Amino acid sequence: MLYGRSAEISALDEAIARARDGHGGAVVLRGEAGTGKTALLDAAAGRGGAMRVLRTTGVESESDLAFAALHQVLWPVTGSLGALPEPQSLAVRAALGLAAGGAGDRFLLGAGVLSLLAEAATPEGLICVVDDFQWVDRASADALLFAARRLGTERVAMLLAVRGDAPVKGVPLTVDVRGLPESAAAELLESRHGGLPARVRRELVTLTGANPLALGEIAARLTPAQLAGRDPLPDPLPGGARLFGDRVAALPATARLVALVAAVEADLDLILRATDRLFAENPSDANAHRAASSGPATDAGSGRDVGSGMEAGAGRVAVAELEESGLAEVSGTRVRFRHPLIRSAVHEAATPADVRRVHAVLAELTGDDRRAWHLAAAALGQDERVAAALVAAAERARDRGGYGTAATALARAAELTPEPRARAVRLKDAAVAAWLGGRPGQAESLLAEARERGGEDATLAMEIAQLRGRFALNSGNAAEALRILAAGDGLDMLADASEAAAYVGDTAAVAELGRRAAAHPEGFLRDAVAGIGLTMDGDDAGPGLLRRALARAGELEDAAGYLWAAAAASALGESDLAAEMATRAGQVARVSGMTGQLPVVLEFVATAERIAGRLARSQAISEEGLALAREAGYENTVAAHLANLAVVAALRGEEEPCERQAREALAIAIPHRVGLRAGVAAYALATLDLCLGRYAAAHDRFTAIAAAGPGAGHPAVAWRAAPDHVEAAVAAGDEAGARAALEAYERWSAHAATPESRALLARCRGLAGSSDDALAEALRLHTNPFEAARTALLLGERLRRAQRPGEARAHLRTAWETFEQAGARPWARRAREELRAAGESGQAPPAAVLDALTPQELRIAGLVADGLSSKQIAAQLFLSPRTVEYHLYKIYPKLGIGSRTDLARLVVLRKAPVT
C-alpha cells in the first residue's frame, strides 16, 4: 500500500490517461534512494487497465553493455518489427542482435524504437516503464529518450524513475518524489509498528527525512523498549546512510560470495556456475558454510561434498541463503536485490581482490562484450589482451549504433593499453564515438587526452587536429576551427578549413585555402574548393573551376558533395541553383541510413525553402533540424536553425518570435565567431524592419550587415541581402546608398547566369535607376514565384503612383495572391492596400487551401504527393507510421478531401515541392 502519494499517483494517472487518448508523453520520477519510486511505478503499471505494459530496470553491472536495457524492454514485442519502415526495422533488429550489420544512425534507431512502441500498443495504449534509469546503458537511454520526446501523437506513456540528479535529457515533465508527508509517514509506521508513541514517531520521521525505506528498515532494528519510548533512540540511528551494511555483513560467507556475484551479474544460471567455480577454487568458503550448518552440504544430483572442491551445486544452497535473508529474490532467470542500495552495500563489503576474483571467473564463463568488461574489471595494471577485447566490444557496439557505449569501452581500453601510440589512437576513436553519440563535451575531453599522449607521430597528430577542427566547427569557436584546420595540407583537411573559413566569413582565408587546394589533382572537391577561393579572390580561373565542378553534380552520391555543389553555385551568384543542390543534399541525407549529418544539411535545405517563399516548409524543416541539432549537441547548427526561423518570422511580420530567435542565434554565433549565422540573424532583424515599413531602420541594418567583419557577418549574407538593401535604401530616400548596394551586388553577381539571378539584378537596377523597363524585364526572367511577386509589387506601386492604375492592378493582384498563399502577411497587406488605392476593392483572393495545415502536416502532404507510403514517410521524418496516419486523419477534414489521391492532386496543383 502507498501512503501519502496521491499527488504523484495523480500525475502518473494523467499521463496514462492522455496516452490512452492518443496524446502520449514521458514522465520522470526523480528522487533519492528509498523514496518509493519503484512502488509508484508498480502502482502506475497496474492502473493502466487493458494497456500493454513493457518494463525494464537499469542494472549497474550492465550499464556498459550496449542495448542491454533496450533488449529487455522490447524483446516481448519484436513480433511487431515487420510493421516498421524497413530502415527502422533493420536498425532495431541490429541493435537487438536479431540481424547482422549495423544499426546505422542513432536517430534512425530512435525512430525505430518509437515506431515499435506505437505498433505494440493495444487499442487502449501502452505503458513503458523504466526503473533505475540512471543505470540504463547509454545506447538504450539514447534510443528511449529519442522516442520519449516524440510520443505526442502515440498511445504510449513512458514512465522513467531516476535517482538523484542523473540527467534525463529533453523530458520536461518531472515528478519529484521526496520524503512522505508527516501524517503519511506516521500512518506507515503505525501500519507496521502499531502503538508507537507520538514522540517516537515524530523523532523517527525527523531523523529519516520521512524516507519510506529508511523508516521501515530503521524501525525494524529498534528494540521493543525503544519503539515504546521507554529507552531513547540510538544516536546515530542504526543503518545510517548504509541501511543494509550490517545485514550484508551478517550473511554467511557463502551467501556473501553469491551476493557479490549477483551484484556483478544478474543471470541466475551464470551466478550458479560462477559460484560453483569460486567454491571449487577456494574450498575454505564452502568449508565455512559446512561448519555453520548441521552437516556437509550435498548436491541432490551428485551427493558430492561442497568442501571437497568438486561440488557442483553449492551455489544453489548459497542462493537460497541469500533469499532467506530477505535481501534478494530469484525472479524468473534473474536474481534481484530488494533495493539497489543492497547491491551497493555488497560491493562496499567486498575487498578489491574479491571483486577482481569474481570478474575473472565470470570472464571465463561469458563471451563477447560481457567477457571483455569482466576482463577489464579483473585487470591489474595495463594489459593489451584485455584492451583488445574491449576494442572489439566497442566495434560491435558502434556497428549496432551504440556510440556512447563504444566511447566508454574505447576509453577504458585506452587506460589498459601499454603502448603510447595505440593508447592515443584508441582515445581518438573514443572521441569520435562520443561525438557521434551526441556527447560533444566528452568527445573534446577524450580528444585532448589523445593529443597529449600522441607523442611525435605526425600522421596521428594531423588526424587528431582535423577532428578537433570539426568538433569546434560544429559546436565551438569557428575561428579556432579555421586555425586548426588550416595547418593541414591534405585536400580533405583544406576543404574542412575552407568550410570553417566560410562559416567565419573570412574571405581572405577562403581565397588562400582555394589557392592551396588548386595544387592538388583535379577532381570535384578540388575544383569546388579551389574555384570558390579563386572566385572570391577575383581570379578569372575561379568561375571556370566552379562550372567544371557543377558539371559533375550528376555523379555525386553523398550529401556532403551536394553541399559543396551548393557552395559552388552560391559563389557564382546563382542562389536558385544553390537551393536546388541543397535540396538534393537533404534528399540524400534522409535515405542514406547515416543521418547524423542531417541537422547540418537541413540548415541549407531550410534556407532554400525560405528563399523559394515556401515559408511553412522552411519553418518545419528548421524546427526538425533544431530538435536534431540540440540532441546531437551541434551548437552552431542550433544557431543556424534559430536564425532561419527568425527570418521566416520576419517575413510573416511576427515581431516577438523574430526578435527572440534572432537574439538566441546571436548569443551562440557571436561568441563562437560563426559569422554566417550571425549574419543571417542580423538579416532577420533587418527584414523585419523592411516588412513592417521601417525603411530607415532597415537600411541601417542592411548597411551594417554589408560592413560586418569575419565572425560577426558574412559576404554571402550581404550578397543575398543586397536586393533587400537596395529596396530599403530607395524607400528611405538614400539614392546614393541604393547605388552603392547595387554596385556591390553587380560585382557579386558578375558570373551568375541563371534566369533568377539575372532577374534579381534587373530588379535592383530598376529600383536604383527608377526604370520600369528593368522591373518588367525582371518579371519576365523570374523563376521564383515569391521573388516574382516582390517585383510585381514594386512595379505595381510605381505604376499606380505614375497614375497608371489599370496597368498596376494586374501586378498588384498577382503579388497579393502570392503573398497570401506564402503566408507573408506584411507584404500581402501592403499589396492589398496598394490594390485598393489603384481602384480595386474586390474580395480577397481565396486563402491557399494548404495554409490550413501545420508545418508538419504540410511536409507529410508533400511527401504523399511524391508517392511515398506512410512507412516511407515515417522513415524520412523519424516518425512512426501510426503518427503519419494520425496526421493524415487530421489533414483530410481540414482540406475537405477523403483520400491520398485527392491530397496528392491538391499539393501538385499548389506546387508545394518537398525535401
Asked whether 628 and 138 are in contact (CB, 8 A), the reply is no
Q: Is residue 521 exposed (0-12), middle (13-18) or buried (19+ Cβ within 10 Å)?
A: exposed
Output the pLDDT for position 845: 61
Which of the two residues, 841 and 833, has the higher pLDDT score? 833
Smallest CA-to-CA distance from 84 within 59, 120, 48 is with 120
Asked whether 35 and 211 are in contact (CB, 8 A), the reply is yes
Would you say the C-alpha torsion 729, 731, 734, 740 has a positive or negative sign?
Answer: positive
pLDDT tens, position by position, 523-539: 999 999 999 999 999 99
Output the pLDDT for position 303: 35
Main-chain phi, psi angles of 161, to 5 degrees: -110, 130
Output the pLDDT for position 193: 82
pLDDT tens, position by position, 88-116: 998 899 899 888 766 567 888 899 999 99
CA distance 907 to 662: 32
Smallest CA-to-CA distance from 912 within 849, 870, 869 is with 849
**694 pLDDT exceeds 90?**
yes
Output the pLDDT for position 910: 56
Output the pLDDT for position 310: 35
Asked whether 208 and 180 are in contact (CB, 8 A), the reply is no
Mean pLDDT of 230-249: 75
Output the pLDDT for position 39: 92
Output the pLDDT for position 909: 57
**617 pLDDT exceeds 90?**
no
**141 pLDDT exceeds 90?**
yes
Asked whether 618 and 603 are in contact (CB, 8 A), the reply is no
Instruction: Give the cell for residue 529.
Output: 574548393
306-320, 390-404, 767-781: lowest mean pLDDT where?
A: 306-320
Smallest CA-to-CA distance from 362 within 344, 375, 349, 380 is with 375
Which of the two residues, 864 and 666, has the higher pLDDT score? 666
Q: What percent of the chain has pLDDT over 90?
A: 59
CA distance 699 to 890: 43
pLDDT tens, position by position, 636-679: 999 999 999 999 999 999 999 999 999 999 999 999 999 999 99
Asked whether 858 and 616 are in contact (CB, 8 A), the reply is yes
Output the pLDDT for position 285: 55
Determine the Cα angle at 668 with ends 664 and 674, to 5°.
125
The pTM of this model reads 0.83
Mean pLDDT of 733-742: 94
Smallest CA-to-CA distance from 318 within 352, 294, 285, 359 is with 285
Output the pLDDT for position 104: 61
Instruction: Give the cell for residue 724.
Output: 533587400
Instruction: Give the cell for residue 516.
Output: 592551396
Question: Which of the residue ranges 205-214, 773-782, 870-879 has the most confident prediction, judged by mean pLDDT?
Answer: 773-782
CA distance 269 to 275: 10
Output the pLDDT for position 242: 61
Other CB atoms within 10 A of residue 847 CB: 11
Mean pLDDT of 293-301: 40
Mean pLDDT of 503-517: 95
Where residue 292 falls among pLDDT bands split at 50, 70, 90? very low
Would you say the C-alpha torsion 364, 365, 366, 370 has a positive or negative sign?
Answer: negative
Mean pLDDT, the chain, integer: 88
Output the pLDDT for position 295: 42
Domains of the chain: 6-176 (3.40.50.300), 182-244 (no CATH), 247-446 (no CATH), 456-555 (1.25.40), 851-910 (1.10.10.10)
Asked whether 651 and 819 are in contact (CB, 8 A), the reply is no
Which of the two residues, 315 and 494, has the higher pLDDT score? 494
